[in-house]
């Protein structure tokens, strides 16, 4: 079974554009789970342009499924997640000013750093995942780092999907198979949508989790949140 974790960053973006508490991130967290989401993902960035540190602490008691926190493992981030203790932390190589994640880790170049970070998280009982491109060398590095999971950066798949979906998925299938052979579980995320999710799911049967935010929240504007979550869950059957 592949779990659907809903990234609620965009709810916070809309709230922050006006100030105040509308729409409520806490209510969105509760409702997503009520409507069938099997996890909640947030990515608090240093400038707090969407999810804030305060949100992270307030959301934790509301999680009845799984809590996944994404971010660059600076000291402030690591302090926060070791206090909150989510089910999973996904490490991304983003800069402080980056608009959105656009590449995975060079696992060999950052081997020592990531080893130390992951050991620290695992000592706190937190499952670890690192964001990687669909590259077999990166997965081999992930095995050396001893991460529990990788998250495949799927924007290249989503971009090429309308042109040639079989060619688009090929490197992801190879990477996921290698990860499985090395004993690493596989997540996926970035630009997955109702158009391309089911195809990926059927060709990568060992996916543990997909994290989807932007497309899902955009679809919810037209379809409603409950209907949208059900449609995404249907893609994972």
CATH: 3.40.50.1100, 3.40.190.10, 3.40.50.1820, 3.20.20.70. Which one for 3-235?
A: 3.20.20.70
Q: Which helix (H) or strand (E) holds 211?
A: strand 207-212
Say whether 190 is catalytic: yes
Active-site annotation holder among 66, 151, 190, 209:
190
**Could you tell me the pLDDT band of residue 1, with boundaries at 50, 70 and 90?**
confident
Structure confidence by residue, pLDDT tens digits, 188-197: 999 999 999 9
183: left (phi over 0), alpha (psi -120 to 50) or beta: left
Structure confidence by residue, pLDDT tens digits, 46-70: 889 999 999 999 999 999 999 999 9
CB atoms within 10 A of CB 233: 16
Q: Is the pLDDT of residue 99 over 90?
A: no
Cβ atoms of 80 and 53 closer than 8 Å: yes
Structure confidence by residue, pLDDT tens digits, 149-205: 999 999 999 999 999 999 999 999 999 999 999 999 999 999 999 999 999 999 998
Say whether 180 is catalytic: no
Active-site annotation holder among 66, 70, 151, 209:
70
Active-site annotation holder among 43, 50, 66, 151:
43
Domain boundaries, given as residue ranges, for the chain: 3-235
Say whether 43 is catalytic: yes
DSSP assignment string, 114-128 = HHHHHHHHHHTT-EE
Q: Give the list of residues 6+ apart from residue 203 with CB closer than 8 angstroms, or none.
A: 169, 172, 173
């Amino acid at each position: 079974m592949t779990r659907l974790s809903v990234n609620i960053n965009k709810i916070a973006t809309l709230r922050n554009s006006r100030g105040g508490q509308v729409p409520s991130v806490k209510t969105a967290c509760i409702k997503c789970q009520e409507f069938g989401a099997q996890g909640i993902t947030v990515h608090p960035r240093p400038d707090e342009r969407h999810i804030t540190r305060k949100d992270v602490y307030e959301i934790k008691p509301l999680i009845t499924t799984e809590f996944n926190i994404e971010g660059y493992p600076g000291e402030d981030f690591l302090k926060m997640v070791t206090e909150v203790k989510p089910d999973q932390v996904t490490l991304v190589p983003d800069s402080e000013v980056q608009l959105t994640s656009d590449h995975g880790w060079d696992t060999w170049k950052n081997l020592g750093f990531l080893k130390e970070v992951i050991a620290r998280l695992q000592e706190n009982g937190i499952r670890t995942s690192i964001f990687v491109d669909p590259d077999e060398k990166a997965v081999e590095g992930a095995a050396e780092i001893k991460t529990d999971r990788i998250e495949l950066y799927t924007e290249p798949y989503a971009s090429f999907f309308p042109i040639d979906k079989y060619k688009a998925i090929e490197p992801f299938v190879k990477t996921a198979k290698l990860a499985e052979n090395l004993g690493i579980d596989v997540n996926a995320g970035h630009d997955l949508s109702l158009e391309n999710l089911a195809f990926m799911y059927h060709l990568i049967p060992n996916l543990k989790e997909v994290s989807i935010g932007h497309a899902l929240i955009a679809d919810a504007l037209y379809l409603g949140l409950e209907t949208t979550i059900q449609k995404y869950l249907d893609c994972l059957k």
